[in-house]
């Protein structure tokens, strides 16, 4: 299975800076500095504070113009 097919099966969700799951990935209102997205399974495996931490890291770097921001170590998505 291709990586794109695997990605589509993972059901990615959007994470708010408060650590809550906000809905499907790609639905952020702020297109210049979007919210963090994670596979739903990964998002649910993290605590609310861990989700908030990775989301805040993305928002802070995005405010400085960065487009690609690495996850925190706990939120890293492992590919098979």
Question: Tokens 């990586």 map to which residue?
Answer: 3
What backbone torsions phi and psi does residue 21 show, to the nearest 5 degrees? -85, 120
Tokens of 14: 């959007």
What backbone torsions phi and psi does residue 45 show, to the nearest 5 degrees? -80, -15
Using alpha carbons, list the distances in angstroms from residue 1 to 4, 12, 41, 78.
8, 18, 19, 16
CB 12 within 8 Å of CB 37: yes
Residue of higher predicted confidence among 68 and 78: 68
Mean residue pLDDT across the chain = 92
Per-residue pLDDT of 27-66, as tens digits, reads 989 889 999 999 999 999 999 999 999 999 999 999 999 9
């Amino acid at each position: 299975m291709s990586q794109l097919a695997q990605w589509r099966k993972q059901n990615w969700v959007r994470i708010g800076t408060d650590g809550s799951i906000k809905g499907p990935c790609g639905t952020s209102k702020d297109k210049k500095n979007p919210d963090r997205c994670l596979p739903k399974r990964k998002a649910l495996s993290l605590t609310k504070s861990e989700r908030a931490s990775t989301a805040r890291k993305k928002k802070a770097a995005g405010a400085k113009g960065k487009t690609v921001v690495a996850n925190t170590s706990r939120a890293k998505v492992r590919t098979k």
